[in-house]
Amino acid sequence: MDPIKLYWEERAENSNGKLNVTTDDVYFRELEINTLDNFIAQHFANGNKIKILDLGCGDGHMALSIAKRKPNVYIQGFDFATNMIAIANAKLAKLAKLAKLANEHEIKNRIKFKVGNILELSTLLEKHNYYDLIITSRTLINLQNKIDQYETIKNIHTLLNTNGYFIGFENFIENHELLNQVRQTIGLTPIAIRWHNRYFVEQEFIEYTSKLYTEVEIIDFASSYFFATRVIYSLFCKAENKTPDYNHLIHQQSINLPNMGKFCPVRFVVLKK
């Protein structure tokens, strides 16, 4: 089996349905969801039906959170890890049952999770099926070479409605290096890039995507959060000889900080067709 698929299969199998299944930093996931929620509120304000594709949807937490908040969204999620999709479908079934009991808005018919490799997008999806919004959240960095990453960005473009958006929460090397420079100046060890991730280079990303998309924006949305948790909190942990705890109050509270700087490798990429 592909080692990256195996990694996610095992992580899902051992997760017990916990939110740290796709990253140990669970509050970071909330920050991503809030950012996406605000984006939808700003760009799709008319209340019309919004068709969303979530590529590499993991345990479906982002899709389910958005669908709960916004009754006009319809989401199709794909992930190549069977165990991730099993968790996502179990969460959907639980939520649908609760919604029915409470006589609340039906969620079941608005979300579908399926197993699928995003490198085979053209065979996964029905022909002439277009989306208003296509999301990847730390998924493209799992593709192991530049060609696959940029081919996928091109295929996403084909699947978007005119004026549709590709939204990515994806990592860039420049911010990663800046964060490590700061850490090193205060005696913290550099954070390593995980073996299964391949970060984007900003200039290359802009050059390639600008040829396809009418608007390209790369927004730093979590820099203050990273400065608080990976610099200040890490310094405290070092001084007290403690292992950082992702559930610490500083993680919980720092998602509310206004954004400053470029210290978070994960950036919010907004590409308009």
Ligand X SMILES: C[S@@+](CC[C@H](N)C(=O)[O-])C[C@H]1O[C@@H](n2cnc3c(N)ncnc32)[C@H](O)[C@@H]1O
Binding interface with ligand X (CB under 6 A) = 4, 8, 22-23, 29, 56-58, 62, 78-81, 84, 117-119, 137-139, 142
Cβ proximity to ligand X, 4 vs 250, nearer residue: 4
Q: Computed from CA positions of residues 244, 259, 70, 77, in that sequence, does the dihedral angle turn out positive or negative?
A: negative
Name the minimum Å distance from CB 185 to ligand X. Answer: 29
Cβ proximity to ligand X, 184 vs 247, nearer residue: 247
The DSSP H or E segment spanning 173 is helix 173-185
Cβ proximity to ligand X, 29 vs 183, nearer residue: 29
Instruction: Name the residue with tokens 């890490």.
Output: 234
Name the minimum Å distance from CB 22 to ligand X. Answer: 3
Instruction: Report whether 193 contacts 176 (CB < 8 A).
Output: yes
Name the minimum Å distance from CB 236 to ligand X. Answer: 27
Closest CA to 220 of 270, 165, 166, 271: 270
Cβ proximity to ligand X, 136 vs 224, nearer residue: 136
Name the minimum Å distance from CB 109 to ligand X. Answer: 22
Name the minimum Å distance from CB 66 to ligand X. Answer: 11
Residue 160 phi, psi dihedral angles, 5° rounding: -90, 145
Instruction: Report whether 136 contacts 104 (CB < 8 A).
Output: no
Cβ proximity to ligand X, 28 vs 213, nearer residue: 28
What is the CA 96 to chain-centroid distance, rounded? 23
